[in-house]
Structure 1
């Protein structure tokens, strides 16, 4: 079993929604072909960086909310699930790598939408 590490988010790094969106589109597009493991590994690394950055912000936003029971619990559970998925790694073959990249892209997409909604509510 291999141990995976993921990049820690630097709180000083600005979230570039357009770059993250482009990475998501690229990762989801890869699903229509037969990508090699090198391509999938590169996409996974970039997505994990985006997820780590967005996850840090999402956790900070969740801590700042008034504890309204179910809403905070659901959000925390979702964020914990995303973090577990990020730690999952590519697995042993092309199929597991493909599934991992696709799932990270979807998680990143959800976090980016959460970021956009949070940014709008702060204005």
Structure 2
């Protein structure tokens, strides 16, 4: 396996939620999965935008939605949506996990804190 390939189908996700938000008691709107290393980060509408920060830090350009029922890919380097192979399970956060999440960390006024 080469780490130069931007899509590594056999790499599992790093967990059920945004790594940095969970480590820092933050919250997210939607989740994105790095197709190369499995890192789960929060989307650009989320306050901390950890998925994009992961790309800028690592150079891993391709993400997939980590939302139930979604399987689209995005390439940060070309700014284009696309398709890709099935990635290692699970393919989304747990369906019982609310949006936004995680439960207990989302402020009541969360809608006013989203990036538009």
TM over 0.5: no
TM-score when scaled to structure 2?
0.24
In our comparison, the structure showing a higher alpha carbon Rg is 1
User: Where is the helix percentage greater, Structure 1 or Structure 2?
Assistant: 1
User: Where is the strand percentage greater, Structure 1 or Structure 2?
Assistant: 2
Greater RCO between the two (CA within 8 Å, min separation 6)? 1
TM-score when scaled to structure 1?
0.23
